[in-house]
Structures are given as C-alpha cells and as structure tokens.
Structure 1
C-alpha cells in the first residue's frame, strides 16, 4: 500500500480522469470523505478535512507534531529515516502507514459500499493496529523505549526486549 502511495499510483479520481479523457468521459467526483475537494492523492493524504483531522490527532498524541500534514512533507521527513530502527521512528512509520491504509480503506468503503465511519473510529483502529504490530517487535531495553511503550499502553513484559 505504501509503495503505491509513494508512487502516486492509487486509483484516485484525478488519475482515473486522465484515463477517461481518451474515451470522452469527463465525470470527476468530489472527495467522499469531506465532500469538498476533488478525490486526488494530495487531497486524500492529508489535505482533506476528514483525513487531516485523523492525522493531526494521531501525530499530536504520539509526539509527531514536527511532521507536517501534507503528503510531500511527510515523505520528505520519512524517506531519510526509512531504514532507522529507532523505536520512535519505527512507530512514526507505522502510524503513517496505518493512517494512510485506513484512510484509503474508508474512501473505498464509501465509494463501493456506501459505508461511513467517524474519524474517531479510524483513529481507534489505527492505534490498535500499531499496538498489535508493536507486540511483535524487539526493542533494546532503555528508559526511552520503556516510556514509549507505556505511552502505547504496552507493558514491557508484553514485548520482547533485548538487553
């Protein structure tokens, strides 16, 4: 999913519009999340008020306020840190990936099934997904990691910690 997002290959309406121009069809849809902007990569990640609300809430909860709310800003911050094994960076990457995944899933649920969820529900799903993934990681045991895991409501004993 992230591979597609980084390469802007998701089938958003702006990309579909280019395909349809050859056939003469010109129907463009507005964003199904906020009903304001056009369904595009940049709008969806995270210029849309719905997705931006989720991203801003999560980044403030987990100390990522320095990462701005537009995809290009996120990518600019993330790419140089892509191989980092720091617990803080790993968690930031997980939060970003899970947020993008659930935003895309919500967009598709609205598009194909007419199912709607509130932003708070997606936030809960994202946090739970990241928490579950963190249970499978091995972190070096230190005070910073212990604080981070406490913030995520993961007891140190639940996670395999290297000494």
Structure 2
C-alpha cells in the first residue's frame, strides 16, 4: 500500500485525506464509473467540458485542474508540468519518502489539490455554480 505514504502522518483535514485515499485507490465515483454502473449517461467532466470525467482527467489532465496543481507546485518551488494521475502519484511517493518538512508540505498540497478539485466538481454538478481558478486558489 504505497499510497499510504501520502496520507499517513499528513497533518491536513481528514476530509482531504479521505479524498486522497479514495483517489489513489481508484475508488472515487467519477462519471466513467457511474456510466459503467448504468447510473448516468453524461460522461463530460463539468470543470472543462472537454473530456470524459475520469480520475486521470480530474487529477490533473484537465487544463483547469492542471493549472491549480501547477500553482501549488510553483508555491513549493517546483517547476514541473502536471502529467497523468498515476505518474503524479508515483512522483509524489518518491518525494514523500522522508519525514522532513518538504515531504510534509508536498503531502499537504496534494491533499489540498485533490480536495479542492473534487469540491469544485461537486459545486458544478450539484449547485450549478462555476468559479474561476483564481477564486479556487484564493480559497
């Protein structure tokens, strides 16, 4: 369970950690899964409306979610473009091998990025409200 490194001893909100755990285990109820179960027919990712809603697109292939993740990385002094979710998780696992301040900060920022991207998705789906990425970052 290598994903455990991203959540264990992470001092952020339990809600954030719960979503990271679900995302790393592939257990988020994204529209592609709901479609397979026959619950929905709409597969569009509501944040950008340019692709199907999958975990890979949600974190961080979508240009809006990628922009948020890129800003989080820049805040940490990392000049790296977001790639597919699995590759980003592997990269984060390598960064979080130690128990130093940098590793702790990486884990907190990943949890924040996952949480706020999922929250924004839910606001669009359930409340029909959409915010600009700058407002999400300000939160």
Q: TM-score, normalising length from structure 2?
A: 0.78
Q: Tell me the number of residue pairs that the alignment of Structure 1 and Structure 2 aligns.
A: 121
Supply the RMSD in Å over aligned alpha carbons: 1.8
Matches within 5 A, 1:1-80: 1-20=19-38, 27-66=41-80, 68-80=82-94
Q: Which runs of 5+ in 2 are unaligned?
A: 1-18
Correspondence list, 1:9-158, <5 A: 9-20=27-38, 27-66=41-80, 68-82=82-96, 84-125=98-139
How far apart in 2 are the matches of 1:110 and 1:39?
Answer: 13
Structure 1 spans left out of the alignment, 5+ residues = 126-163
Structure (1 or 2) with the larger CA radius of gyration: 1
